[in-house]
Amino acid sequence: MRATFLLFLAHFAIGSCLAAPNDNYPFTVESEPEGDGHRIVARNNGPAPVSVKVALLYSVYATPDRKFPVFAVVPPNGGVLYLGRFKRTMSGVGYSFRYSSSWLLGDFNARQSADALYRLPYRDGSAYRIGQAPGGPITTHHAADSAHAVDIVMPQDAPVLAARAGTVIYTEADQKYGGKTPDLLDKANEVRIRHADGTIAVYAHLAHGGVHVYPGQRVAAGEQIGLVGSTGYSSGPHLHFVVQQVVRNGDDLGIASIPFRFYVGNPPAPFRPTSGALVKADYSSSAPASNGASARAAQGGESAGLLRQVTASFPATAELFADTKVSQVRIYLQTLPPWGWFAMLVGVVFLILRLGTRRAERRMRAAFEPREPSLGTHRSGNPDFGAQTPWARLLRACGGDHGKAERLLDYEQRKAPGISRDEAALRALQRWERDRR
């Protein structure tokens, strides 16, 4: 009874817009008077389009001009969209209505381009191993928003590069800690970049202070955006990379990760990320045959690439793959010695036991499944919309005008010779904020 009473009280205590209280992204959904009624209006002052859902909870003596729920995409950078109007049904009689709203960064109409390719998110000449990837052993990528994500094992503070050109729409860089505890699930430093086709790439688990870009900034493929770290739900330094899009599932909005292709070489040789592959970033010439990724290049198709990879590692199997006639397989089985049949039987028993163990593990995870960072509106306790260094904050305050920011910085350094660049930037930012008041 007590819980029911609290829920009932909360229902009437909340405002008409149920947006996340801790999310400081500059997006609002509000109702405002209009003539003999009210209208619901969404305003988006951030750098990303926003998918919004508005559901009508009830209305008394008020008639809406459309059917609810309403789904819409509010354009970025000052976009305003009217999501519904209510008019009183009886003159001289009071009316009321209540609605709820939820929203996500991104456009639910966006779809990844068929020719979309992503360079490896680290410097040319570097080679790192892919950990979790679709088709391999999975420990944390169970949810829809991370099913196609990859974890790249990289050292602490290794440079992270943009895998594809786009606009930075969100950053978080103030998190300091990492570990395998539930309280760290939503505390990963990250950068989100929106591409031309509307899809969004997430670069997560970055180092504390390891974000080098700010929302609204345009970045090119190969441009450095941050440093590798181990913040959030993480067991060690690595880069969590995923491409996502907003999806509409019936009457709900959600986030889904989507398959993508990396590429190496020049001209590009596309490939799907594979768990355990050691991949070298080489964009100066055609991808070398020794590169762990090039076996899955587009030339010859992925199946042919896989065949080349297998036969390169086990040359004795080349003839078996080359001749796939049923008669050849029958002859091979007939000539198999008794110990070979015994080994096959042991392998089948081991596989059955292993499948049973994995099924039991999945049941145990049902009570608690770790989730990777998603594009939800509920962020960490005190998220920061922007880069954290004094210079980046000053640059953002100046609207990205490098010349203006440098002039303010030079002024402070001339006033107090010997102070550091960060201290000068901090003083300039404080002076700029006082002048605005």
pLDDT in tens, 313-359: 333 333 323 333 444 455 456 556 777 778 888 888 888 888 888 88
State the pTM of this model.
0.64
Compute the chain's Rg from CA coordinates.
Answer: 27
Same domain assignment for residues 87 and 150: no
With H, G, I as helix, E, B as strand and everything else as coil, classify residue 415.
Answer: helix
* One-letter identity of residue 292: G
Q: Do you find a cis peptide bond into 383, omega within 30 degrees of 0?
A: no
Highest mean pLDDT among 261-270, 388-397, 410-419: 261-270
Same domain assignment for residues 50 and 160: no
Same domain assignment for residues 146 and 261: yes
With H, G, I as helix, E, B as strand and everything else as coil, classify residue 243.
Answer: strand
Rounded to an integer, what distance in angstroms lies between the CA atom of residue 275 and that of residue 273? 7
Which of 162, 169, 151, 25 has its CA nearest to residue 110? 169
Same domain assignment for residues 129 and 72: no
Task: Return the structure tokens found at 328.
Answer: 């050849």
Q: Is residue 91 part of a domain?
A: yes
Are the CB atoms for 241 and 202 separated by under 8 Å? yes
Using the structure block, give the residue that is written with the tokens 């050691």.
278
Mean pLDDT (the chain) is 80
Are the CB atoms for 256 and 248 separated by under 8 Å? no
Rounded to an integer, what distance in angstroms lies between the CA atom of residue 15 and that of residue 21? 11
Q: Is residue 31 part of a domain?
A: yes
With H, G, I as helix, E, B as strand and everything else as coil, classify residue 144.
Answer: coil
Rounded to an integer, what distance in angstroms lies between the CA atom of residue 186 and that of residue 381? 9
Same domain assignment for residues 97 and 136: no
Q: How many domains does the chain have?
A: 3
With H, G, I as helix, E, B as strand and everything else as coil, classify residue 407.
Answer: helix
> For 140-162, how does the pLDDT look when each residue is reduced to its tens digit (9 = 90+)?
898 999 999 999 999 999 999 99
Question: Predicted confidence band at 432 (pLDDT cuts at 50, 70, 90)?
Answer: confident
Residue 101, strand partner residues: 54
The H-assigned helical ranges of 168-221 are none
Where is 421: in which H helix or E strand?
helix 421-436
Q: Is residue 213 part of a domain?
A: yes
Same domain assignment for residues 134 and 246: yes
Residue-number span of the structural domain to which 229 is assigned: 118-318
Same domain assignment for residues 406 and 259: no
The CATH number assigned to the domain holding 6 equals: 2.60.40
